[in-house]
């Protein structure tokens, strides 16, 4: 495993990309530097009456646009370095996909599996109170979201706590990824995995790029291994499978399973829920060492767990021709160089897993407008389409089959609009990054191109604000 700190690895990618820009050193330093880090230690009363001290962080990498945005994770691996690195990635990610947020990240150093629901609620509410007191949360300041070890339940507790303390009209916009009944948005749960699918699909549709890899264009028939069967990994696998790819391997903390002929992801999930393990799935080969899953024979590898999973040690053994980074920082900077020298296509996390923040942006806009997407125009659109089709029948003499008018005239629901906006965002980001790469053909990879894209956009904001000439 690499000993290079995570934030230093992110900055290494930044420095590599910065060489392709003509910005002054002072501006580049400002973009790269983490602006603020808040560290707190607070008491938690356990169910047995004992008191435990809990550590938490919130890092704001950049406030070039407000609010800043980034998830909150509950993990024993949390550290100041990690939240700074993830906050930096959020800055660049938001810039690449044209979401008007700065980058932030939060963490609480616990294993959520070791705490009861009442304990997690007390912990989450106290952490929120600490953030509120130091102005590290608010709909116009800093807006958290779910991350590793957290979900809609925790976001509901955060929103409720903030609303009780802040007494603001737009308080519900202080956090995203909430349950629908508390201001959430349809499509948010599967957004990151769906975005991963859109990005990989776009990459596979580039005939020129696939030819270099010795692959045919399109997703159909391509073999996929997914590391991590959490929310992101599961949905990425599901959408890739629905898109024609073949899931041949899945790896989790208890081990990995492999079948070169493929298996159904839904059946595997059901097996794991019943047995508590991936292992023992019918027709699949068990691999007791989960690390072996990263080295399985496949066309596409999707690491969807934590950072630093592919290192300089195991990179030479990775057999995939395409790596789609569904997690943040799954490939270390040293491994990145090894894989690129081997001709492996890495679709970087800097935009591939931006589906979550993209749909979080939609949720935030919905919360501030206090209006559900589609509410004003859906029925009007349905009537207009119905009238148009009926006019065609009447004046052209065409008679549509039964039910056709109703099907075609159906207006867009909130989830339809969210998924459409997400698809457009990821496709636009992929094409923009690829265009930068092609303009420097042979000199940079997709990750470097993504960082160049981010640097240019953040620099433009600073210049437009008059901070740097």
Catalytic residues: 105
What distance in Å separates the CA atoms of residue 352 and residue 48, rounded to the nearest whole number? Answer: 43
Query: Looking at residue 172, what DSSP letter applies?
Result: G
What distance in Å separates the CA atoms of residue 68 and residue 258, rounded to the nearest whole number? Answer: 41
What distance in Å separates the CA atoms of residue 371 and residue 365, rounded to the nearest whole number? Answer: 9
**Exposed / middle / buried, residue 124 (Cβ in 10 Å: 0-12, 13-18, 19+):** buried
CB of 232 closer than 8 Å to CB of 326: yes
Query: Looking at residue 182, what DSSP letter applies?
Result: G
What distance in Å separates the CA atoms of residue 343 and residue 11, rounded to the nearest whole number? Answer: 23
Query: Looking at residue 276, what DSSP letter applies?
Result: S
Q: Which is nearest to 415 in space by CA: 191, 178, 152, 183? A: 191
What distance in Å separates the CA atoms of residue 139 and residue 216, rounded to the nearest whole number? Answer: 46
Which residues, other chains included, contact 331 with Cβ-Cβ below 8 Å and sequence gap of 6+? 303, 309, 310, 315, 323, 325, 339, 346
């Amino acid at each position: 495993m690499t000993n290079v700190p995570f934030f230093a690895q992110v900055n290494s990618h930044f420095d590599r990309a910065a060489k392709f820009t003509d910005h002054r050193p002072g501006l580049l330093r400002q973009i790269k530097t983490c602006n603020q880090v808040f560290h707190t230690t607070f008491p938690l009363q356990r169910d047995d009456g004992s008191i435990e001290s809990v550590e938490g962080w919130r890092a704001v990498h950049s406030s070039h646009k407000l609010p800043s945005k980034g998830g909150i994770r509950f993990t024993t691996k949390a550290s100041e370095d990690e939240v700074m690195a993830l906050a930096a990635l959020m800055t660049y990610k938001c810039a690449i996909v044209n979401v008007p947020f700065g980058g932030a990240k939060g963490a609480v150093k616990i294993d959520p599996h070791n705490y009861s629901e009442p304990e997690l609620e007390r912990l989450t509410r106290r952490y929120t109170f600490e953030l509120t007191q130091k102005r590290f949360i608010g709909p116009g300041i800093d807006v958290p979201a779910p991350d590793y070890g957290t979900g809609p339940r925790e976001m509901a507790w955060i929103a409720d706590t903030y609303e009780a303390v802040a007494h603001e009209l737009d308080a519900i916009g202080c956090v995203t990824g909430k349950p629908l009944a508390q201001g959430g948005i349809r499509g948010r749960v599967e957004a990151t995995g769906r975005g991963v699918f859109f990005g990989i699909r776009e990459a596979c549709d580039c005939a020129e790029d696939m030819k270099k890899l010795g692959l045919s264009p399109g997703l159909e028939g391509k073999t996929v291994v997914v590391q991590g069967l959490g929310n992101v990994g599961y949905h990425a696998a599901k959408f890739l499978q629905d898109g024609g790819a073949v899931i041949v391997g899945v790896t989790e903390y208890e081990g990995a399973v492999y079948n070169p002929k493929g298996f159904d992801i839904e059946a595997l999930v059901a097996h794991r829920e019943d047995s508590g393990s991936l292992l023992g799935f019918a027709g699949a080969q068990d691999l007791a060492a989960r690390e072996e899953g990263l080295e399985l024979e496949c066309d596409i590898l999707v690491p969807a767990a934590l950072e630093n999973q592919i290192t300089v040690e195991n990179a030479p053994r990775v057999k995939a021709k395409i790596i789609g980074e569904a997690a943040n920082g799954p490939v270390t900077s040293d491994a990145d160089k090894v894989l690129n020298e081997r001709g492996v296509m890495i679709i970087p996390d800097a935009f591939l897993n931006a589906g979550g923040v993209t749909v979080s942006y939609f949720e935030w806009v919905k919360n501030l407008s206090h209006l559900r997407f589609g509410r004003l125009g859906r029925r009007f659109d349905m009537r207009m389409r119905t009238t148009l089709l009926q006019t065609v029948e009447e004046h052209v003499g065409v008679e549509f089959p039964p039910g056709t008018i109703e099907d075609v005239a159906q207006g867009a629901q909130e989830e339809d609009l969210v998924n459409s906006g997400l698809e457009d965002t990821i496709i636009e980001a992929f094409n923009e990054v690829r265009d930068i790469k092609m303009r420097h053909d042979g000199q940079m990879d997709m990750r470097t191109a993504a960082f160049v894209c981010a640097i240019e956009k953040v620099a433009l904001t600073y210049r437009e604000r008059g901070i740097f000439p």
